[in-house]
Amino acid sequence: MQHLATEIQTQREKPEMKNAAEQELVKEAIRAFPELKNQPQAAAAAADPYDNTASPLPAYAQNAPAEVRLEIEYLLDIAFKKGIGEALTQSQKSPAFVQDAFHDALAGRLYPELQKRGIVK
């Protein structure tokens, strides 16, 4: 989480992100995260993000084929069990749609936790 918080701050300082919404900052930080993947990371937040019953997938992926939805959910599972860097490495083997949906789903799942920690507003 600390690496992600640092990357969010880096994104926040970019002139082109001056008026960006906080959730957009999180998405951009996740997209930039592979550059940080060789650094050690904590695997997951203390709370299990799968405790709620809502689907972790973004709305546009809800009607995707079952294989695609499962691949996105698998990548989310890796992110919360083995770390964001590992999940991003695995996602690079996936089609662009899966990568985008994974980034959006991950940002959506992490955003509330980042708010609690005061990293984003």
Give the confidence band of 11 by pLDDT, cuts at 50, 70, 90: confident
Average pLDDT over residues 74-88: 90
Helices 66-82 and 84-91, packing angle to 10 deg = 150
In one-letter notation, the amino acid at residue 34 is: P
**Contacts for 66 with CB less than 8 Å, ≥ 6 apart:** none
| Residue at 21 is within a domain | yes
CB contact at 8 A, 24 and 30: no
Give the confidence band of 54 by pLDDT, cuts at 50, 70, 90: low
Q: Considering just the CA atoms, what is the radius of gyration of the chain in Å?
A: 14
| Residue at 121 is within a domain | no
| Residue at 16 is within a domain | yes
Give the confidence band of 35 by pLDDT, cuts at 50, 70, 90: low
Element (H, E) at 3: helix 2-13
Q: How many domains does the chain have?
A: 1
- Confirm whether pTM is higher than 0.95: no
Quote the domain boundaries for residue 109: 2-116
